[in-house]
Amino acid sequence: MCHADPPASSPIPADSAALRARFTAGAIQSFTLRVDLLSELDGRPASVEVNASRCGRPEAPCLVVLGGISACGRAVEWWPEQVGPGRPIDTDRHAVLGIDYLDRLPAGWRGLSPGDQANALAAVLDRLAIRRVDAFVGASYGGAVALAFAERYPERVGRLLVLSMADRPSPMASALRAIQRECLRLGVEHGFEAEAVALARALAVTTYRSEAEFAERFSGAPRHQDGRWRWPVEDYLQAQGARFAERFDAERYRVLSESLDLHRVDRQRLSTPLHALAVVEDRLVPCGDIQALAAAVGGECVCIDSPFGHDAFLKEGQRVAAWLSDRLARVAPDPVRPQASSEAPRGRSRVAGCPPADRLPDRPRMPVVL
């Protein structure tokens, strides 16, 4: 699951044709682009580097695949059951594109929203001369970015496959993340940053799985150790927190945690066909919130039961594979792949506001599946 830092990137060719020529089927190609963005929160400009990765056949229909805040842009690494040759997201049939999330605040910026991530992705697509992706598959935070992208660039995406994400965070999830960020603040102020990151992550982990799964795994008796009682679940939480703290510092964690809570999508501006997957036991993104989003935009929502809760998109391999395969089979690639115009920006995102609602095409009506 992308536990290592991304490899060093080689210089980008000046033109998109040269960049596309660097990709070979089956290989992972990673590269870095410098792009200009405007903060969606206050309009401040910034020049930022975006790390992107692509695998599969370069001439094939393009799919964007993004995961949670700890996932990197190389979906074949953090989602190997679903992405690769012959997998539901088949790199023999598609080019799969991802980005590493922006996770540092540029000077003068007050925060990074999923909309800022969507604008960074649009800049990458511009440089690759990809006007439109056939589908955007987003899980957890990646689902927030997918919805933000479709809100801002409806003409650039064929359909959305969103797993475990609604159009806004639930107040309970925001409350829990606020406590995590307070842990981070105290840790930085008092000189135990790594311990604070681990503790905040341990709290987060309790929201990723269901109560039933914890009861099955951690119902053993406590043991007395180092002068105190220690329960079986503590070993799991401590290990998860420590592993996360090896990869994230407090600032990176805070920025992405805040970004989850800054997530807001105007349902009236969503015209892209939506397929959503929700989990009844998800304590982080309630199933009802995802159902309400799908119903409001005329999309489809499938709800499943899983003891893995929010992590079901990672742990329910066969069920998620069946869902992905069926929805991606409905993706009809463009008969002619359009090329970017000569005016396509190079390294600059399109940061215009969302299109007026009266210019959106009629939404296709699809049933909500309970």
Q: In whole angstroms, how large is the CA radius of gyration of the chain?
A: 20
Measured distance CA(25)–CA(58) in Å, rounded = 7
Residues 301 and 231 in one domain: no
In tens digits, what is the pLDDT along the chain, a chain of 370 residues? 454 333 333 333 434 444 444 444 457 889 999 999 999 999 999 999 999 999 998 889 999 999 999 999 999 999 999 999 999 999 999 999 999 999 999 999 999 999 999 999 999 999 999 999 999 999 999 999 999 999 999 999 999 999 999 999 999 999 999 999 999 999 999 999 999 999 999 999 999 999 999 999 999 999 999 999 999 999 999 999 999 999 999 999 999 999 999 999 999 999 999 999 999 999 999 999 999 999 999 999 999 999 999 999 999 999 999 999 999 997 755 443 443 332 333 333 333 233 332 322 333 333 333 3
pTM over cut 0.75: yes
For the domain that residue 254 is a member of, what is the CATH number? 1.10.1740.110
Final residue in a domain of this structure, among 203, 236, 260: 260
Residues 117 and 201 in one domain: no
Position 158 in a domain:
yes
* Active site amino acids: 140, 282, 310
pLDDT given at position 331: 73
Q: How many CA atoms lie within 13 A of 225 on its CB side?
A: 8
pLDDT given at position 258: 98
pLDDT given at position 332: 57
pLDDT given at position 24: 46
Residues 117 and 20 in one domain: yes
**Contacts of 275 by beta carbon, 8 Å cutoff, 6+ apart:** 159, 160, 161, 162, 299, 300, 302, 327
Residues 63 and 81 in one domain: yes
How many domains does the chain fold into? 2
Final residue in a domain of this structure, among 233, 260, 287: 260
pLDDT given at position 288: 97
Domain span at residue 100? Answer: 16-166+267-359
- CA 160 → CA 149, 213, 274, 297, 301, distances in Å? 10, 30, 5, 12, 12
Residues 308 and 252 in one domain: no
244: tokens are: 């996360």
3-state secondary structure of 247: coil
Position 36 in a domain:
yes
Q: How many CA atoms lie within 13 A of 350 on its CB side?
A: 18
